[in-house]
Structure formats: structure tokens, C-alpha cells
Amino acid sequence: MGQEKPPSPLANIKWQKGPSVASLGNIAEVRLPEGFMFAGAGDTRLLMEAMENPTSGSELGLLGPENLDWFVVFEFDEAGYIRDDEKDKLDADAMLKSIRAGNEEGNKERQKRGWATMTIVGWEQPPHYDPATHNLEWAIRGESQGKPVVNYNTRILGRRGVMRATLVTDPGTLAQTLPSFKTVLGGYAFKQGSRYEQYVSGDKVAKYGLTALVTGGAAAVAVKTGLFKYLWKLIVVIFIAIGAFFKRVFSAIKRFFGGAPDREPGR
């Protein structure tokens, strides 16, 4: 008899299923609709490592439909209150140049780890800020191992920092996925005392603004202080899924998440 293969670590993921409310640490919560599921902070980091992405320690959860056609990763940066006075001065060309420079640093680290590198093609959707919701959104199209990858990014400003919500989906289905993604985000809320409009004088204020959120958050500060070599840690997480490995991990997750429908994406 052949040696039995060890169980996949993905078999230990604890999935919370909807309809329910999932906590994102002690800072926020999100409603899970019927047919959706959620993994907590530790399990999200396990999944990110399986998808060949360095983890930051700021991951609070991963949410997606049970067939995992797409998913969104939530991370919180306790940077403080981020002023939105740059909302009318967002320079998409300059930001893309900065992101590409940071991605090159990220590729050096990926090569060290034996992971696939990433090329940034350009904007799928340039940055847009909504002053009513305090949400900053943009999407970047990339390519890895000859396959396209699109991550749709949302930054939700709060009193004590910013929640990063990164959508990962097949580029060909982005238009169909966005309505569902935005419906899910409609069920997101900062907990009482942590909302953007609850800022009071004396609260911690971030050292960067909206532009830096797009180009890598604190990475922009690192560039100014000569710490550019650390930029990869903040920029590379723009891309959660890596080429063909994306589908392979999805397949493994679907085999092991325990009870959710085992069906092919899109069915």
C-alpha cells in the first residue's frame, strides 16, 4: 500500500456560514448573506500563505460565496484618522508609477521565495473617493505566469485607521462580481466609537493621506525616510491570487471547507 498523504492544512479552516454576522476583530463587523462564508484572522493568514502571499499580521477575515468564485480579504491598519483633504487632487498617473516601483521590490522578494512574479499592466479602474461613505476605491490589472489578475480595492476610512477590503476575482467576471461585492460591503460597519465621523480632537492622526492609501499606505512614508527596501511588504499584497495557483487553491478549499456545496465556479 502507498503511503497515505497528510491531510491538507485547509481541512482545518473554520468557516462561519451565513446568514450571520461576522466580527472583524474588535473594530468592525460584516453581515454574511445566505450562501456566503467567512474565515477569521488566523485562518485567513493560512489561506494567504497557501496562495503564496506574504502575510502582514493585519488580516482580520476572508469572505466569499460558498463556491468561492471570488472572495474579499479584510485587513485593518491602525494608522489613525486619515484626513481626506486630497480627495480632489488624486493623480492616477503618478500613483501608478509609484505602485509599479513598489511591485518591482515585491518581485525581488517573490523570487527569493521561489514564487511567481507579478507585472502590473495598468488601471482597471482609477482611484475614486466617495466623501459620503468615506470609501476609496480602485482596481489594478496585473499579470502573472501569462495569466491576468485583477484586484478591486476598497479602503474604508474609520476613526482609528482604515479597513482594507481587497476583492479577488477572475478578470473576465469582474463586472458580474462587483454588484455582489458591493452588496456585501453594504453589510459592513465599524463598531460604535470607531466610525469616521466619530473623530474627536486629540485622536491619533495618520501621517499620510488618500494618495498613500493607493500607493501602499505607510510605504509612502518609508520612501520619504529612505526605507524603500521595505516597500514590498506593503505593496505586494495588492495581488492576493497568483496565476494558475489561484484555481488550484480554490479546488483544495472546496474539497475541505466542510459541507458547503461542491460545485464548479459559476454554477
Q: pTM above the 0.85 mark?
A: no
Reference 163, options 37, 68, 23; nearest CA is 23
pLDDT digits (tens, 9 = 90+) for 206-258: 988 999 888 864 344 333 333 333 333 333 333 333 333 344 445 544 444 44
Phi, psi of 88 (to 5 degrees): -100, 10
Q: At 30, is the secondary structure helix, strand, or coil?
A: strand
Q: What pLDDT does 266 receive? A: 36
Strands 162-169 and 71-77: antiparallel
Q: What pLDDT does 162 receive? A: 94
Reference 232, options 245, 242, 246, 222; nearest CA is 222
Averaged over 39-64, what is the pLDDT? Answer: 84
- The mean predicted confidence, pLDDT, of the chain is 78
Q: What pLDDT does 142 receive? A: 83
Residue 101 binned pLDDT confidence (cut-offs 50, 70, 90): confident
Residue 24 binned pLDDT confidence (cut-offs 50, 70, 90): very high
Q: How many CB atoms lie within 10 A of CB 3?
A: 5
pLDDT digits (tens, 9 = 90+) for 151-179: 788 999 999 999 999 887 777 788 899 99
- pLDDT score of 18 more than 60: yes
Cell 515585491 belongs to 106
pLDDT digits (tens, 9 = 90+) for 55-68: 778 899 999 998 88
Q: Which amino acid is at 93?
A: D
Averaged over 140-146, what is the pLDDT? Answer: 82
Q: What pLDDT does 238 receive? A: 36
Using CB atoms within 10 Å of the CB of residue 160, give its burial: 0 to 12 exposed, 13 to 18 middle, 19+ buried: buried
Largest CA distance in the chain: 70
Domains in the chain and their CATH numbers? 9-256 (3.40.1000.10)
Averaged over 7-13, what is the pLDDT? Answer: 67
25 in the Ramachandran plot: left (φ > 0), alpha (ψ -120 to 50) or beta? Answer: left
Q: What pLDDT does 144 receive? A: 79
